[in-house]
Structure 1
Amino acid sequence: MKKVLTIAGSDSSGGAGIQADIKTFSAHLVYGMSVITSVTAQNTKGVLAAFDLPKEFIEMQIRAIYEDIDVDAVKIGMLSSSEIIKTVAKALTYYNAKNIVLDPVMVSKSGFKLLKDEAISTLVEDLIPICTIITPNIDEASLMAGIKIKNIEDVERACQRIYEFGAENVLIKGGHLDGEPIDVLYDGKDFTYFKGKRIISKNTHGTGCTLSSAIACNLALSYSIVDAVKRSKEYIQGAIENSFSIGYGVGPIDHFFRFRLNKNDE
């Protein structure tokens, strides 16, 4: 069984963060492990508060995993401070981690800032250069690339700028643009376009976490970067199509829709 590690924050409502990552790992039939960087108090209506774990304890969690278990891929989510980013980057470099997928979580859907402003430069300088792929949304890509993204041409320019930070691949998610969503993958030479179908649903909590986790799973399963993204896009599409309402705000997607659909077919 392939083994995938998530390094991210905890979502007490279970829709995003560590909880969404572990659900995604299970849905892909890989063994999931976690390093918790922050604990959030949140629900479907938003994030109430966040508490960062000490950097020493984060490093200890990473050491505990790598000194006992072979890790086939790593998904990185919420890293809120420069200290935490440096700690994670140093540890993953020391253990020669492979198949690193970075979802640069900056702001929650409710507007709660999950990455301190001064930490963005540390993310660019210390963490992005060791990543196999980075998966920003339009807003995150605009901030990192320093350009206003309004169309696919802007997405391509942003891909090129972010690629220069050192990641092997850049995937910019186009869901925030008008029209049908198109995600753009850039490997330093070629662009690959993944066209999706816009689904009218308010229940999209955890989509970014889930997509990046699915990519990590598929890389662990030895798929190429293009196939890993393609398979992950198909998975997230189905998870959103089968999302459901919990609470009074933005509900979660269904990480286990394939199992439910298969059960219904029996």
Structure 2
Amino acid sequence: MSEKMVYALTIAGFDGSAGAGFISDIKTMAHFGVYGQAVCTAFTEQNEDEFVAPGWVIWERIEAQLETLFRRHTFKFVKIGLVEKARTLKRIVEFVRQKSPDAFIVWDPIASASAGFHFMRDAETFLPIMKSIDLVTPNQDEYEYLGLESAAARGEIRMGHDFALLLKGGHAKGDESVDTLWYKDHQFKFTSPRLPGKGKHGTGCVLSSAILANVALGKDLPTACEIAKQYMNEFLESGEGRLGFLV
């Protein structure tokens, strides 16, 4: 790590397996030399194969955690993960924007746990909030669930203009995994061979945190996404079973 420490904040759930949530985010950030700090939105009960309960943290406790950390640091790079509902996301984004107006905010929407538990039941109400976020990173299911394609067709949003969007290709079909980034009215594609049988727990958390870490280190967004994609390939081939691990 350089002499001047680079900080980032993750606002996400606790996963005791350390495969997803803010523990995974901090591990990923540390890999790139960024010091991650965390606010907990949910004390989930899970392991890498099973999701039991979300254990939501009430807003007042989330706000208290944010207040305490922002008293010490003005975070310029923020990642948001698991949130209970749109109102919670809105409050978090408004808090960050008030304390750090020019912060780069990434939201990794989580519609369901890999073990099958479903979140974001008020999906349609998330759309207006995204215009206050810099980058949204859904997989194909989350992209459809949030109605992003239909909203763009209706002219309600302009992806790449109102906010950057990275559509992850890991859940799609085909021999290649293609991630598509809409950014500043341009489209970028990041392609890698699909790795059959290499399913890992927490891949969305890892990818979004890797992107944020590289933006924090001064990379432009397309370059940060490309580096994160390469890192994800290494992550998918690491560790044992559904847990990946890179040092």
Fold shared per TM-score above 0.5? yes
1:59 matched to 2:63? The reply is yes
Distance in structure 2 (CA, Å) of the matches to 1:85 and 1:146? 17
TM score, norm. by length of structure 2 = 0.89
8 Å Cα contact 1:3-1:70 kept in structure 2: no
CA distance 1:61–1:141, change in 2 (3 Å): same
1:109: Cα distance to partner? 1.0
8 Å Cα contact 2:161-2:183 kept in structure 1: no
8 Å Cα contact 1:162-1:170 kept in structure 2: no
Q: Aligned partner of 1:134: which letter?
A: V
Residue 144 (structure 1) aligns with:
146
Secondary structure, aligned partner of 1:214: helix
In structure 1, which of residues 86, 89, 92 is the aligned counterpart of residue 93 of structure 2?
A: 89
1:188: Cα distance to partner? 4.3
CA distance 1:186–1:90, change in 2 (3 Å): same
Distance in structure 2 (CA, Å) of the matches to 1:186 and 1:177? 18
Distance in structure 2 (CA, Å) of the matches to 1:18 and 1:215? 15
TM score, norm. by length of structure 1 = 0.83
Distance in structure 2 (CA, Å) of the matches to 1:57 and 1:172? 32
Secondary structure, aligned partner of 1:186: strand
In terms of mean alpha carbon deviation, does 226-235 or 79-88 score higher? 79-88
8 Å Cα contact 2:17-2:48 kept in structure 1: yes
Distance in structure 2 (CA, Å) of the matches to 1:195 and 1:49? 35
Secondary structure, aligned partner of 1:37: strand
* Aligned residue runs from structure 1 range 189-228, under 5 A: 189-228=185-224
Residue 105 (structure 2) aligns with:
100
Q: Aligned partner of 1:4: which letter?
A: A
1:202: Cα distance to partner? 4.2
**Greater helix fraction, Structure 1 or Structure 2:** 1
Residue 170 (structure 2) aligns with:
175
1:254 matched to 2:240? The reply is no
Gaps of 5+ in 1: 149-156, 246-250, 257-266
* Aligned residue runs from structure 1 range 34-45, under 5 A: 34-45=38-49
Q: Aligned partner of 2:127: which letter?
A: V
The alignment's C-alpha RMSD in Å is: 2.1
Gaps of 5+ in 2: none
- 1:81-134 CA-partner distances (Å, limit 9, x unpaired): 23322321221121125111110111011210132x12x2332222x1121111
Q: Aligned partner of 1:9: which letter?
A: G
